[in-house]
């Protein structure tokens, strides 16, 4: 069986000169009002190493394009196109031929195109919280999808989606502090209900409190409640000092109180928005640790315990 027989179908793919492709909002003056604008306005994210790699091997992964407004617009692969443009300038300057990039043509309405662009970027890039929050809100507005479908698309829970929507309503100063890890998401989830002056006032209080807590943990003092990066829970855990506690956005909780573990078990087993967040084996382990479950319920645990003199 050959390639054609093995394939489930055919698609339109063509080699493009990157200079003939249009990156909406980057190559044009159009900005946020256009569906295929992702907020990128500079080439700061194109590293010299990436340019050298493209000069050597070209762009291996195809991009996705669409024909609209009498031009070829980039749906997915905007960064690859920008990198190839820079690489080609160096190649031509050194007397080499410019490279092309393979583009798969995608048709459809604005909702389908923006969904393809945003989900692809979300799964590939490590966006800061404020960008992810903006993407989630924009995704829901364009596609008309509700919390459950959006959570599935972004690989998180419905509670996370609601939390990001709250963050998106906060002022830019709050978003920046969150991106810079000066505060945790759980610290600022209620600030969107305040006016600008109130948000700024509470933000400074939170930053001061977090700084004092982190300094305390670096010295081995204090009993802070840990926090989930997505703000999914309402309770926190305490623990000793040491490495990692100086990160105000840290998810890790050392030596949590039993009440915290009980809360985690309750949320993971009884709340719909957290259903499936933890594997059954993890829940069984937590129950065993707190004395609410048997070691036999944790796969492999009894074998390990048999080798320990208890």
Tell me the C-alpha distance between 48 and 139, whole Å: 32
Summarize the confidence of residues 79-85 as an average pLDDT.
92
Determine what percent of the chain is predicted with pLDDT higher than 70.
70
Mean pLDDT across 187-203? 88
Residue 186 pLDDT > 60: yes
What is residue 149's predicted lDDT score, i.e. its pLDDT? 86
Residues 6+ apart with CB under 8 A from 233: 186, 263, 264, 267
pLDDT digits (tens, 9 = 90+) for 133-156: 888 888 888 778 888 888 888 878
Higher pLDDT, 30 or 112: 112
Nearest to 286 by CA among 249, 307, 256: 256
In angstroms, what CA-CA distances link 70 with 22, 73, 97, 103?
11, 9, 28, 17
**Of 92-96, 272-276, 281-285, which has the strongest mean pLDDT?**
92-96
Residue 126's SS3 state is: coil
Q: Which residue has the higher pLDDT, 214 or 155?
A: 155
Using CA atoms, how far apart are residues 88 and 18, in angstroms rounded to an integer?
A: 9
Nearest C-alpha neighbor of 188 from the set 172, 201, 202, 176: 202
- What confidence category does residue 16 fall into, taking pLDDT thresholds of 50, 70 and 90? very high
């Amino acid at each position: 069986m050959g390639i054609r027989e093995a394939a489930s179908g055919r698609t339109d793919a063509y080699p493009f000169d990157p200079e003939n492709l249009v990156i909406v909002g980057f190559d044009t003056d159009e900005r946020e009002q256009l569906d295929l604008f992702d907020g990128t306005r500079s080439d700061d994210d194109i590293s010299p190493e990436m340019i050298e790699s493209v000069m050597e091997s070209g762009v291996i992964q195809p991009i996705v394009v669409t024909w609209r407004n009498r031009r070829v617009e980039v749906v997915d692969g905007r960064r690859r196109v920008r990198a190839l443009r820079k690489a080609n300038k160096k190649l031509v300057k050194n007397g080499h031929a410019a490279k092309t990039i393979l583009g798969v043509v995608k048709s459809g309405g604005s909702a389908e195109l923006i969904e393809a662009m945003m989900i692809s970027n979300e799964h590939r890039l490590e966006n800061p919280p404020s960008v992810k929050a903006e993407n989630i809100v924009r995704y829901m507005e364009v596609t008309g999808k509700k919390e459950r479908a959006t959570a599935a698309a972004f690989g998180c829970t419905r509670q996370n989606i609601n939390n990001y929507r709250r963050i998106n309503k906060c002022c830019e100063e709050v978003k920046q502090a969150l991106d810079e890890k000066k505060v945790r998401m759980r610290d600022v989830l209620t600030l969107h209900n305040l006016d600008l002056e109130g948000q700024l006032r509470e933000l400074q209080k939170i930053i001061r409190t977090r700084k004092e807590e982190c300094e305390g943990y670096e010295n081995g003092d204090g009993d802070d409640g840990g926090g989930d990066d997505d703000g999914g829970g309402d309770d926190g855990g305490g623990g000793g000092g040491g490495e990692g506690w100086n990160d105000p956005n840290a998810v890790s909780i050392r030596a949590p109180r039993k009440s915290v573990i009980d809360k985690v078990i309750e949320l993971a087993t009884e709340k719909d928005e957290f259903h499936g967040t933890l594997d059954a084996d993890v829940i069984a382990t937590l129950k065993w640790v707190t004395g609410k479950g048997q070691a036999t319920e944790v796969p492999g645990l009894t074998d390990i315990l048999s080798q320990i003199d208890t």
